[in-house]
Every structure is written in C-alpha cells, then in structure tokens.
Amino acid sequence: MSLERNDDGYVHYRDDTDSRAWFEAQWRIWPKRADERYTTNISFHYGGVRAFREFHGREPELSREFSSHVAWHDKHPHSEAEV
C-alpha cells in the first residue's frame, strides 16, 4: 500500500466534510466509480476507512470487493505492497 496515499485519504476524510459522502458512496459500490472525476485508489480509500472508524467508532458499509482489500490492509498496516 502506498503509505502516503493512505495518509492522504485519512486526512481528506477527516478534514473535508463535503467529501465524506463521496467516500462512503464509493466504498459501497467499489470498484465502480461514484464519480468519474475522483480516484478509486485502494490505499487512498483505506486511509478514509481508518478515519471513518476513528470518527464514527464503527465499520463503514463496504462493497464485497472493497472489503477484501480493507481486510488485507488491516492485516498489513505498514506494507508498501498493493494487492
């Protein structure tokens, strides 16, 4: 995982109230795009998931495909490898 992209996603979800709805919509339908203008980068979105968990104290709703990537990243939090 790109640690920099992960951190970017974390900060973006945490600090940008307007983007939270986009993140949450994207996670539910990933790998489809909620908005063609924005990324589906797994590391970026995983950073948002981390921020969601901290902010809400629960798990977000995830597509089956995205949830498998989240589970991998949960097990390998400091890895630079993309799955």
- DSSP state letters, 27-51: HHHTTS-S-TTS---HHHHHHHHHH
pLDDT at 82: 47
Over its length of 83 residues, how does the chain's per-residue pLDDT go in tens digits? 588 999 999 999 999 998 999 999 999 999 999 999 999 999 999 999 999 999 999 999 999 999 999 999 999 877 654 44
The full length of the chain comes to 83
pLDDT at 77: 72
Asked whether 65 and 31 are in contact (CB, 8 A), the reply is: yes
pTM of the model: 0.90
pLDDT at 54: 97
Choose among 75, 23, 76: nearest CA to 49. 23
d(CA 19, CA 80) in angstroms, rounded, equals 25
What is the residue extent of each domain of the chain?
A: 3-75
Choose among 18, 31, 17: nearest CA to 62. 31
